[in-house]
Structure 1
C-alpha cells in the first residue's frame, strides 16, 4: 500500500541521516532558473517548440513543404522534434542551439536550488545537459566541488566529495555529443557506458532518490525496468520516488506492493526545503567535527569504492591502518572478534568496549574492524582521537554536541585511541548520551599498563567489555587465519621459505608466536628485532640517531605518539637541533608521520632492538629536560595529553620496573632536580614520595606526601591512601630494622586506611581494600604473628563486598588471602569459607594456583576529592 506522507517523510529522513543515497535528477529539477542570457530554462514541451523554430523553421527552404507540415504537428514532442532534425541532417545546428540555450545557468544565493549542496551527496546522476549543478557548487572549495563524468567518460576520481554523472551529455563538453533523438538513445543503450554501469552498481548498493522527473524519459524507464527486476522485496536498500505526478501505473503498483519502494508527491522545491530544514545542522556539525579531527567512515567507504582495484595496501609492511584496508577486507580478523559486532549490536544500548594489550599488537586494527562490522549492523561509525591541544572536558562536550545533533533513532559507534587516562569522561559521554541516540558503542584502545592502572575510573560500569589483544600466534585458529589472509592477498612472499606446504608454514607462524614478526618475516624474510638491530648499527651517531633513541625511550614509557611541533620543541629542549626532513629521511623505515603525528613502527619490538645504544643516564637527562619543558605550562588537575605525558615520564614504578632504572638514579638524577619547576604539581610530590618510600626513606616520603596533600587542600583520596600505605610499609620494614616501632607505624597506617575504606566511593574502595588486605598479610607473615579470627573475618567481609560490586581485580588478592589462611592453619571463619565458595562460583575458570598481580594501588590519581574530608 502507498504509505502516509508523514510516515514516508520520517523514514526518508532516517535513511538520509545514516548514509548518503544516490540522487537522480530529471528535467524538472532545473525548472525556474535562468541561462547566461537571462532566459528561464524551458521544460520539455517549450524546448521542443524552441528547437522547431530555431532549427527546422529557420531552415525550411531546404525542407519539403509537406514534411514541414508534419514536423509542425510534432513540435510539442521533444523526442519527435529531435528525430525530425536528424532526418534533415541538422544535428549540429540543434547542438549549437542547445549548448547556447542551456549554458551559464545561475540562480540567486537564496534560491531553493542552492539548498542542494547542504546535504553531503556522494553520487548525483542527471539527465540534464545544463550546468546548473556545477553552478550550485561553484563557489565552494575545490574539494567540495563535484567531479564530473560525461556519458561514456571514465575519468578517474579526483578525491572530490561528490561525483556528478551527466548521462545525456553536458554543455561544458558538447564535443562528447548529446542524447535527445531515437538514434542517439539506441546508440547510447547499445554502447558500453561507464556512467550507466556505475549507476547500475550504485543502484544495487545504495538507497536512491529520484527527483525532478515524472518518469516519462524513455532511457530512465528502460533503466528502471532492468534494475527493478534485480531488486527483491527483501533488498536492504530503499528507493524513493519524489514527483508531483506519477502517471506510470506499473511503477505505482510496485511501490504499493514492495516495502523498499516509496512515493512522496513532492516537487524539487519541497524536497530541497526538506533538506534545508533537516540537514543543515548535520552538515554543520560534521564539518565542525572534521575540523577537530573526527573521521566519518561512511565517507571513507565511498572513497574506498572510488579507489577500485588501484589501491596497494602497506598494512602488512607495518604502515598505520587506513580505512580502505578494512572496506577491502585486507586486515587479519581475529577469530574471537568475528561474531563480536553482532553480539554488541544485538545488546544495543550504551556500551564501552576496551581493547587493550601491549604496544603494537594490533589493537587499532581490531577496534576498526569492530567499527566497520558495526556499520553493517546499521551503526554510524566514526573515529575521534583526543588531540594534543585538546583537554578531556572539551573532548567530552564536543562528542555530546555531535550526538545531540543526530536524528532520532541513530545508532553510533565511536572509536578513540589511547583513552585510559580519560575513562571518566568516556563514562560521562555514555551516561549523558542524549535520548535521540538509540545505541552508542564507544570503542577505546589502551596500552595494557595504562588500562590496568586507570581501570578504577570506570567504577561499576555494567556494560564495560574488556577485550585483551595479544601478539601471540600460537593459537591454531589464529595462525590459520593469518595464513589464509596472506595467501588470499598474495602476501605469503618469503614465508614460503619456512615451509614446503601449508601445514609447515602454519607451524612456523605458531612457533614465531608474534603477529608483527610473522608479517615482517613474510615481507622481509627475517625477524624484526634482528633486522632493526643491524639497521641501526649502520646509522651514524648523530642528532637524528639521538632523537630516534629518545622517541623509542618515551614509547617504552607509554608515550605512543607525538605531534610534530611538541616533538621538535622537546628535542630542542634536550639540546638536539632536529631537521624533520632529514630525520624522516634517515629513520622513515621506523618512524611514520601521519596527520602531523609521529609514531614508531612496531615500538614494542623496536625497544628490544635499540636497548644496547640507550643508557639510563642519557634517557633520564632527556626525560628531565622534557618534563621541565612541559611543567612550565601545566596546572593542577589538568586533563590533556601534555599532563598525561608528564605523568608517564616521571612515573616511578614504570621507570624502575619496566625500564630497570635503579630507584636511587630516578631520585637523584631526575626527581630532585625537577623540584623548582614541578613543586606546584601534586603528582610530582606523590611520585617523589613513592620513590622515597621504596628506598625506605619513610620520613622523606611522608614529607613529600604532605606537600602533595597541601596542594590538594588535604582532600585527595589518592594522597591520603599513599600516606597510609607509607606508614604500613614503614611498619613492615621496621620488623627487621626497628622492631620496637614496627607495630606503632603499621597501626597508624592501618587506622588511616580503615577510615578511608569506610568513606570510599567504589572506584577507590576496591584499591584501598586491595592495599589493606595485601599489607595485612605481608605484615603478619613477616612478624610471625597469627592474625586474629576477628581480623580474618573483617578482611573476608571486605573481599566479599568486592565480589558483590563485581570487582575485576578480586581473584588475585583473594588467592593471596586464602593462601595465608591455609599456611597458618587458621580456623576457617564462616566468612572466609563463604568467600572461597563465592569466588569459585563467580570465576569457575580462574586458576587459584597462582596469584595474579593486576594492579598497583600507587596508580590511583585524578578527580578524587573526598566529601567531609576533615
Structure 2
C-alpha cells in the first residue's frame, strides 16, 4: 500500500513534511481511532452500531439510530446511563499505535470521542513526546493553556458528573449555537491551519458536516484524511473540500508519522527538553518558547526574506540579514550581562514600525548562540508561567529570552525577573517594541532591571546611517538581489539610501523606485472588494504588530473556497504573504493610508465591526489572563485612537454602538468608548462611560487613570476654569488619579498624567485671568498640588534613570515659567509665548 507521502500530490509533499516535523499540524480523531483500544475490562471500545446496541440494552429500547437511543435512555434512566459511560469509557487501555502518535509533535489534538484514550496514552510516565497539559470538553471556556491540549468536541465522560455528551440532534444543535464553546474555534482552526484526520467520518457528523462542507482548509499545507479505504464518491467530496485522501490503516499511518519525526526528535529544538526539570514545567515552558539553534532553523517553502516576508531565525542563520553596527553593539551589551555576575536585566529596543528591530535581535542572538548561551524566543501566543520558566532555566546556566513585541507581556517579564532575582537564577531578556508603546514597558519594568536602546542612544536604529547604508549595499550585492540598481556605484547607492527606513530601501531594491506610488493601482487591481478588504484588514492589524489569522476573513464574508482562489492570485500574493495560517502584508503594502483611500469608509466600518464581533468567543476570564493572540487583536482594534487611524472620529460612536451587545461586560470597551466620546468633544457621555469602566474594574489602574485624567481635562476644557464646577471636577479627578497611584505605588504614567493635566488647568486659569474665585488661595492650593506631584515624580523609581525622567523636568520647567507669567515677571511677548506652549505629551495605554 502506498505511503502517506506517496499519496500526497508531489507539489505539496515537501511542505507537508517540513510543517509536520515542526509541529504545525493539529490531529482530529474519530471513533475509528479508538476502536482498537479497550475499556478497563479489556473489551474493545464500540463504534456507533455497537454503542447503539449497548444503550438499547440499558433502556430496553429497540432503536437503530444512536441519537434516538441516547435521547430515550437519558430520559428513562440517566443515572444508569452515567454509570455505563463511566465504566465503559474511562480508564481505557490505548492501542499500541497510539504511542507512536504521542511521539509526534502536535499543535492541538481534537477528538470526537468521549473516551479517555488520549489522556491515558499521554499519561503513561514511560511514554516519549509532548506532555499533555489540559483536557477540555466542548462546553468548557476557550483557553490557550500551557502545553498540548486535547479538546473533546462531543464531550467527555467525567465520572460523578452529569453527561455533557453530544449524541442527539438537540445536542448537535446546541453545539452549533453555542458561540462561546470550542466548536467555533475548531472551525476557525480547520480553515486556517493544517489537520490530520484519523478515524472520523466527518460528513456524517451532523454538527461538523454543516461547517466542513463550507469551511475548507485554505492554508498552503495539505490537510490529510486518513482511513483504510476511500470510496470514489467520498474521494470526490474530499477533493472539492481541499482535503487529501490517504488510504491507510491507522496503525501503519502512525508508524509512518513516527518515522517522519524521528529526525526532529534528535534536534536541539526537541532534545533540550530533556533538561533536569519536572515534566509539567518543561511542557509549560516549551509551549511558550522555542530554542534558537544554529543547526535546527526552519523556513517554510516559498519564504523569501528579500521579497518582504517576515524575518525568521533561519534568515539570520543563513546570513540573509545584513549585520549593522547597532546589532553588534546591542549584542555585546547583552553578552556582557550574560557573562557578568548574578544579575537579572532586560534590554529593550524601541523604534518605529518596520525599522528592522526583529532582524537586529536575530543578528545579536547569532552572536550569543555562537558564544554558547541558551537563547529562547518567546512565541507571543499567550502569557508565560513564571514558576515553570524559572524551574527550566535555573539548571541551564545564563540564558537569554527574546521577546518580539513585549508591551502586552511586560508585567509578566517583571514578575519573572523579580522571581529570578529572589532565586538567584541568571536570566537576561532582550525585548523589542514599537516606540508608540514605550510608556507601557517603562511603566511595568522597574528601572533597576531596565536598559533602554532607542534612537537617542543607538545610531542608525530608526533610519540608516551612512555606514549602515554602505553595509546594506555590500550585503545585497553578495546575495545578488540588486538587479534594479545594477550599474549604480556604491557611493550613489549610499547617498540614496542614507537616512531612510531600511524596509523602504529593501522594498525599492526588489520592486524598483517609485514602488509606493504603485501600491494603490495594484491594490485596486485585486479581483474584488472582498479581496481589497482582506488586504486592508491585514495591513490594519499588522500596524499593531499582529499577523491576521486567516479565519477572520470569514467575518467579512470571504468563504474558504473564495479565499483559496484568492490566495493563488498573483495580485494578492504580491501584497500579502501567508504563513502559519496568518496573513502578513509585504512591507511595500504597509502604506495603510494608500490602501484605506481606495475603500469607502462605510465598508471599512462594517468590516471592522464584523471582525470585532467575530472575536467575542475568545474573550473570557481565562483568555484575559493568558492574553492569547485573538484577545490581543481585539484589544488593539477596539482602541479608539487605533480606529481613528482608519475612520473619522465622528464615526466611532456608531462602531461602539454596534459591538456593545458583544462587549458591554468588558471594562476595556467602556474605557475606549469614553475616549472616543472625549475625542469627539462629548464630555458628558465620555465621563459616564469612563465611570462605567471603573465600576466594572475598580482595581484596574489604567481604567482609573483614564477616568481621573478625563475629569481634570473637563475642569479646564468643558467648563469655565475656576468655576465651582471646575474645582469639583478637578477634585474628583485628582482623587481618582491618587487612587490609581495607590494601586501601583511607583506608577510613573499616573504621576505624569496628573502632572500634565494639573499644569494645563493651571495654564488655563492664568490665560483666562480668572476673577470669579479667590485668585490667590486657589492658585496657592494648585501650586501646592503641583509641587507635591513634582516631588513624587522625583521619588518614583519607575521614572528615575529613564528617558521619561526628562519629561518631569520639562513639565516643572513649564510650571516655573507659568508662575513667572502669573507674578508679572515676564513681559507681554514672553508671557504670550509661554502660554502658547504645550506640555510634553504622555504615553497612552
Corresponding residue for residue 678 of structure 1: 663
Deviations 1:459-508 (A, max 9, x none): 445234344597754521211221221233333322235x4x22112101
SS of residue paired to 1:321: coil
Q: For 1:424, which of 408, 411, 427 is the aligned residue?
A: 411
Contact 1:528–1:605 (CA under 8 A) maintained in structure 2? no
Compared CA separation, residues 145 and 545, structure 1 to 2 (3 A): same
Compared CA separation, residues 756 and 278, structure 1 to 2 (3 A): closer
Give the CA deviation at 1:694. 3.2
Deviations 1:665-718 (A, max 9, x none): 101x21122222211111111112222233333332232223222222x33333
Compared CA separation, residues 705 and 537, structure 1 to 2 (3 A): closer
Q: For 1:799, which of 774, 793, 812 is the aligned residue?
A: 793
Map 1:851-862; keep pairs closer than 5 Å: 852-856=840-844, 859=845
Contact 1:353–1:467 (CA under 8 A) maintained in structure 2? no
Task: State how far apart, in whole Å, the 1-side matches of 2:373 and 2:590 are.
Answer: 35
SS of residue paired to 2:591: helix
SS of residue paired to 1:338: helix
Compared CA separation, residues 139 and 423, structure 1 to 2 (3 A): same
Task: State how far apart, in whole Å, the 1-side matches of 2:690 and 2:784 are.
Answer: 32
Q: For 2:652, which of 666, 669, 681 is the aligned residue?
A: 666
Compared CA separation, residues 518 and 138, structure 1 to 2 (3 A): same
Task: State how far apart, in whole Å, the 2-side matches of 1:295 and 1:758 are.
Answer: 37
Q: For 1:382, which of 369, 376, 379 is the aligned residue?
A: 376
Corresponding residue for residue 651 of structure 1: 639
Q: For 1:396, which of 377, 380, 385 is the aligned residue?
A: 385
Contact 2:469–2:494 (CA under 8 A) maintained in structure 1? yes
Q: For 1:141, which of 258, 262, 269 is the aligned residue?
A: 258
Compared CA separation, residues 754 and 431, structure 1 to 2 (3 A): closer
SS of residue paired to 1:413: strand
Bigger Rg over Cα: 1
Matched, 1:363 2:357: yes
SS of residue paired to 2:620: coil
Contact 2:334–2:347 (CA under 8 A) maintained in structure 1? no
Compared CA separation, residues 692 and 435, structure 1 to 2 (3 A): closer
Task: State how far apart, in whole Å, the 2-side matches of 1:407 and 1:794 are.
Answer: 43
Map 1:826-841; keep pairs closer than 5 Å: none
Compared CA separation, residues 437 and 367, structure 1 to 2 (3 A): farther
Corresponding residue for residue 548 of structure 2: 562
Deviations 1:29-63 (A, max 9, x none): xxxxxxxxxxxxxxxxxxxxxxxxxxxxxxxxxxx
Deviations 1:206-261 (A, max 9, x none): 9xxxxxxxxxxxxxxxxxxxxxxxxxxxxxxxxxxxxxxxxxxxxxxxxxxxxxxx
Matched, 1:503 2:503: no
SS of residue paired to 1:772: helix
Matched, 1:731 2:721: no
Compared CA separation, residues 505 and 750, structure 1 to 2 (3 A): same
Q: For 1:344, which of 321, 328, 334 is the aligned residue?
A: 334
Deviations 1:543-594 (A, max 9, x none): 22222222223333x15202333x244334xx76663322222212222222
Matched, 1:697 2:682: yes
Map 1:168-317; keep pairs closer than 5 Å: 279=274, 288=283, 292=287, 294-298=289-293, 300-302=294-296, 314-317=304-307
Give the CA deviation at 1:855. 0.8
Corresponding residue for residue 773 of structure 1: 755
Task: State how far apart, in whole Å, the 2-side matches of 1:336 and 1:791 are.
Answer: 43
SS of residue paired to 2:399: strand
TM-score relative to the length of structure 1: 0.57
Contact 1:297–1:382 (CA under 8 A) maintained in structure 2? yes
Give the CA deviation at 1:373. 1.3
Instruction: Supply the RMSD in Å over aligned alpha carbons.
Output: 4.0
Corresponding residue for residue 448 of structure 1: 435
The higher-RCO structure (CA 8 Å, 6+ apart) is 2
Task: State how far apart, in whole Å, the 1-side matches of 2:366 and 2:728 are.
Answer: 56
Compared CA separation, residues 720 and 409, structure 1 to 2 (3 A): closer
Corresponding residue for residue 720 of structure 1: 704
Task: State how far apart, in whole Å, the 2-side matches of 1:680 and 1:549 are.
Answer: 29
Give the CA deviation at 1:515. 1.2
SS of residue paired to 1:715: coil
Q: For 1:631, which of 612, 616, 634 is the aligned residue?
A: 616
Q: For 1:783, which of 762, 765, 775 is the aligned residue?
A: 765
Compared CA separation, residues 674 and 324, structure 1 to 2 (3 A): closer
Compared CA separation, residues 530 and 379, structure 1 to 2 (3 A): same
SS of residue paired to 1:320: coil
Compared CA separation, residues 824 and 436, structure 1 to 2 (3 A): closer
Give the CA deviation at 1:732. 0.6
Compared CA separation, residues 141 and 339, structure 1 to 2 (3 A): same
Q: For 1:617, which of 602, 605, 613 is the aligned residue?
A: 602
Compared CA separation, residues 629 and 523, structure 1 to 2 (3 A): closer
Contact 1:483–1:506 (CA under 8 A) maintained in structure 2? yes
Corresponding residue for residue 538 of structure 2: 551
- Give unpaired runs (5+ residues) of structure 1: 1-114, 119-136, 147-159, 164-205, 207-275, 829-848, 860-870
Task: State how far apart, in whole Å, the 2-side matches of 1:291 and 1:571 are.
Answer: 35
Matched, 1:752 2:740: no
Compared CA separation, residues 280 and 140, structure 1 to 2 (3 A): farther
Compared CA separation, residues 536 and 440, structure 1 to 2 (3 A): same
Contact 2:575–2:585 (CA under 8 A) maintained in structure 1? yes
Matched, 1:481 2:463: no
Compared CA separation, residues 431 and 569, structure 1 to 2 (3 A): farther
Matched, 1:585 2:585: no
Contact 1:591–1:598 (CA under 8 A) maintained in structure 2? yes
Task: State how far apart, in whole Å, the 1-side matches of 2:550 and 2:306 are.
Answer: 25
TM-score relative to the length of structure 2: 0.59
Contact 2:347–2:429 (CA under 8 A) maintained in structure 1? yes
- Give unpaired runs (5+ residues) of structure 2: 1-125, 130-253, 770-775, 824-836
Give the CA deviation at 1:312. 10
Give the CA deviation at 1:379. 0.8
Corresponding residue for residue 820 of structure 2: 825
Compared CA separation, residues 508 and 777, structure 1 to 2 (3 A): same
Task: State how far apart, in whole Å, the 1-side matches of 2:707 and 2:483 are.
Answer: 58
Compared CA separation, residues 807 and 402, structure 1 to 2 (3 A): closer
Contact 1:690–1:701 (CA under 8 A) maintained in structure 2? yes
Task: State how far apart, in whole Å, the 2-side matches of 1:633 and 1:758 are.
Answer: 31
Q: For 1:330, which of 320, 325, 341 is the aligned residue?
A: 320
Task: State how far apart, in whole Å, the 1-side matches of 2:273 and 2:678 are.
Answer: 61
Give the CA deviation at 1:424. 0.8
Map 1:60-139; keep pairs closer than 5 Å: none
Contact 2:327–2:364 (CA under 8 A) maintained in structure 1? yes
Matched, 1:532 2:525: no
Contact 1:696–1:730 (CA under 8 A) maintained in structure 2? no
Task: State how far apart, in whole Å, the 1-side matches of 2:418 and 2:549 are.
Answer: 31
SS of residue paired to 1:141: helix
Give the CA deviation at 1:740. 3.6
Corresponding residue for residue 481 of structure 2: 491
SS of residue paired to 2:431: strand
